[in-house]
Amino acid sequence: METKKYRALVVRESEDKKFTSAIEELSTENLPAGDVLVRVLYSSLNFKDMLSASGNRGVTKKYPHTPGIDAAGIVEKSSSADFKPGEEVIVTSYDLGMNTSGGLGQYIQVPASWIVKKPANMALRESMIFGTAGLTAALSILKLVDHGLKEGSEILVTGGSGGVGSSAVSILSHAGYRVTAVNGIYDESSFIKSMGAAEVIEIPDPAESAGKPLLKERWDAAVDTLGGNLLAFALRSVKSNGAVTCCGNAASGDLSLTVYPFILRGITLYGIDSQNCPMKTRARAWEFMAGRGKYPWLESISTEVKLQNVIPAIEKIKAGKHRGRIIVDMQD
């Protein structure tokens, strides 16, 4: 198949160890080896993409590099019997956008084992409003459902205005749960309530609960997206035999806690790894999101930018001034 020129965000490292980003023209012949070549129509921006674009070696080891852990598009070429040219597909996580050229390029080439066929009742653009953030939220919710969470249960969601948090608030409220969300650094209570949260609370002051191994039982379960003190707050505040999911460390990777939530209340802590979770689990999460019908909030939590405007959008994430989801239209 003939090679094609395409545009992509490229992050380069200078001799003085500084990182710069620009939209460049590349060739498909330089893409990494893979079973399936996908023409990317939509991508989205995530916290991890900002880290990659900032030169974070914990995410991306070698530069120049094209970030983008999310991609949705059409199969253009395939050596796998599982995928045919013309099929609409979703690729998220694994190594995409980390050390493998990612979804902020108009083409990606990846192993077939990384690809999910787009659910029939979900549009490609809609899939990127969910993206890795929505997938992570859905995986968290399914853990709670499998734990025994019933419709109408009261759920705490931390980071309610962020990508994963806003997705969790939206999916949970749409599915019939009563959601309490923790506000962000900036006041986003109106935005969070517009997604269906019944209540929005301010970030708890760690000093007020310092030294307390347990707090008042308030929620049946919790979805924590930030880590640190908020995760500790959730674990100490969930009702007996409840569960908490943990999927992020934007607040902190540290957890200061006693064993008492676990041995006196029987709390279960579930870790959520959306990057490397099994394909069967991943496909179930996408079908779960697609099977809930149309989400009235979908457009309100998303901002769309073109590829040429993606750099300022990444800077907004870096400054902590974004809310909801940022999707990227990759088409010329």
Strand pairing of 154-157 and 219-224? parallel
Q: Is the model's pLDDT at 251 over the cut of 90? A: no
Query: Quick check: is 283 in a domain?
Result: no
- Tell me the pLDDT band of 293, cut-offs 50, 70 and 90: low
Question: 266 with 140, same domain?
Answer: yes
What Rg, from alpha-carbon coordinates, does the chain have? 20
Helix then strand count (H, E) for the chain reads 9, 15
β-partners of residue 10 are 22
pTM, rounded to two decimals: 0.87
Q: Is there a domain that residue 265 lies in? A: yes
Does residue 144 sit within a domain? yes
Query: What is the pLDDT of the chain when averaged over all its residues?
Result: 91
- C-alpha 281/C-alpha 146 separation (Å) is 12
CATH of the domain at 107: 3.90.180.10
Q: What is the pLDDT of residues 211-224, one digit of tens each?
A: 899 999 999 999 99
Please report, as a single letter, which amino acid is at residue 143: K
**186 — pLDDT class (breaks 50, 70, 90):** low
Q: Are residues 57 and 179 in the same domain?
A: no
* CATH number of the structural domain spanning residue 255: 3.40.50.720
Confidence of residue 295 (pLDDT cuts 50, 70, 90): confident
Q: Is residue 257 part of a domain?
A: yes
- Give 119's DSSP letter: P
202 and 319 housed in the same domain: no
Which domain covers residue 172, as residue numbers?
A: 131-271
3-state helix/strand/coil string of 172-207: HHHCCCEEEEECCCCCCHHHHHHCCCCEEECCCCHH
